[in-house]
Structure 1
Amino acid sequence: MSYQKPRTQHDYKDLFWSLLPLVLICLVIAGIASQCTFSAKGPTQGQIPNFDAKAALTDDARTLSFPVRLPALPDNGPGKWTPNSGSHDTIVGAGGGAVSTVGFISPQGTYMQLTQTNATEDALAKKIMGNQYASGTEQVGDRKWVVYGDPGSEPAWITDFGDVRVLIKGAGNHDIFTTLATAVDNAQPLPKKAQQ
C-alpha cells in the first residue's frame, strides 16, 4: 500500500516537483523546434524584417490626398537605419483623416515610428498617445515639434507642415529623435504621379 499525503499537507516543494517535468518537456519541444536558444551573454538582436519603405511611401504619395515625405536616413554602415514595417489606418471622428506609418530600427537597435496624416494634431495625438498630453516642445532647425508623453513612457513628437501632420515616436534617445526629425524636415514631398 502506497502512502500519499493528504492534500492539506501539500506545500510549495510538492508543487515544484510536480511542475519540473512539465517545464523540462516544454524546453525539449522548444529546442527540437529550434524556437529557443541559450546565450550566456544575454539576448541578441534577431533578423530585422525586410520592408521597402521607399516603395510603400511612394505608393502612399500617389493614393493619399496629402503630401507624403520619405526621409533620407543612413541605410548602410554603422549608422544604419533599417525600415522594418509599414501600415495604413484611418482616424475617424472630428479632425480625422488617413494615416501612413513606417517603422524603422535605428542604429541603436530601437524602434522608431514615422506617421504622416492629414488629421489634426489633436486627433493624431489622441489616436497614438491616448490620454497623454503635450509636455513641452523641441526646436529642430527652424521647425517646432510638440512633445507628448508621460515620464517613463515612449515620447512622441508632432509637427505641422500645414497640409500634413507628422509624428515620430519610439524608444530612441534624443539624438535619434533629432536625426529623424531633421530628415523629415529636409525631405521634399514625393511626387503624386509615377515618374516616366
Structure 2
Amino acid sequence: MPDKKPRILQNGQDMAWSLIPLVIACLLIAVVAQSCSFSPGGPKQGPIPSFNAKEALKYDSRELGFPIRQPEIPEGWTPNSGSRSIVSGDGGGDSSNIGFITKAGRYIQLTQSNASEEALVPFIAGEPRYATGTEQIGDHTWDVFGGDGVEAIWASDFGDTRILITGPAPAPDFTTLATAVGAVEPMQR
C-alpha cells in the first residue's frame, strides 16, 4: 500500500497545510529582524529632512564661478536637499541644486548652472527632452520641456547663469519658484 496520496487526491487544502509552516517561519523572521510594521491606516509621511539652503547657496556663490541667486521661498516650503554636480559634454559646467518640499508635500528642485541649456536639460532629465512651450514670468522667458509621463522642466537664461526648475510639483509651484528666482539679484561672492 502506498504511503502517499495519489496526485488526483491532492487539493488546495493540502497546499494550504503545506504553506502554513512557511508563512509562520517568514513572520518569525520578520519579527526577529524588526523589518516589518503593521499600519492599518496606510503609510504615514515621515519627517522632512532638514537642510540649510541659505548656507549651501552662500557656499556655492563663493566656490562656483557664476552668479547664484537665493530666492525667498514661500511660507510652508521646506528645503530638504542640496547637491553640486558637474554637467558633462559640450556646453557643460557646474551646477548648484536645492530641493524643496512644498506646502502640499510635493518635491520641486531648483538648479543654477553655468552650463548651456542644451547640456543642462538632458543632464537633469537623464534623457533628451524637447521643448513643449514657453512661460513668461516677469522679465524672463522660461522654456518648458515635458511630455507624457515625465516631470516638467522649466529652464531660463539669466545671462551668466541658467536656471532650471523640475519635479513632480504642479505648474503653479513652478510659477511661484520662477517668480521668486526672478525677483532677487545674485548673491555677493
Is the TM value for this pair above 0.5? yes
Query: Which of 94, 98, 104 is the aligned partner of 2:100?
Result: 104
* 1:82 maps to 2:78: yes
Q: 1:140–1:12: structure 2 CA closer, same or farther, 3 Å change rule?
A: farther
Partner of 1:189: 186
State the distance in 1 between where 2:84 and 2:164 align: 14
Amino acid at match of 1:64: L
Alignment length, in residue pairs? 186
Structure 1: gaps (5+ residues): none
Give the TM-score of the pair, scaled to structure 1. Answer: 0.82
Superposed CA deviations along residues 45-87 of structure 1, whole A, max 9, x for unmatched, are: 111111111111110000000011111113xxxx411111111
Of 13-22 and 103-112, the range deviating more from structure 2: 13-22
Amino acid at match of 1:177: F
Residue identity (%) = 49
Contact 2:139–2:182 (Cα < 8 Å) also in 1: no
How many Å apart are 1:35 and its aligned residue?
4.7
Q: 1:39–1:135: structure 2 CA closer, same or farther, 3 Å change rule?
A: same
Structure 2: gaps (5+ residues): none
Partner of 2:67: 67
* 1:126 maps to 2:122: yes
Partner of 2:53: 53
Q: 1:12–1:51: structure 2 CA closer, same or farther, 3 Å change rule?
A: farther
Amino acid at match of 2:171: H
Q: How does 1:3-22 map to 2 (within 5 A)?
A: 3=4, 22=22
* 1:163 maps to 2:160: yes
How many Å apart are 1:131 and its aligned residue?
1.8
How many Å apart are 1:149 and its aligned residue?
1.4
Query: Which of 149, 154, 166 is the aligned partner of 2:151?
Result: 154
* 1:137 maps to 2:134: yes
Of 148-157 and 29-38, the range deviating more from structure 2: 29-38
State the distance in 2 between where 1:48 and 1:159 align: 29
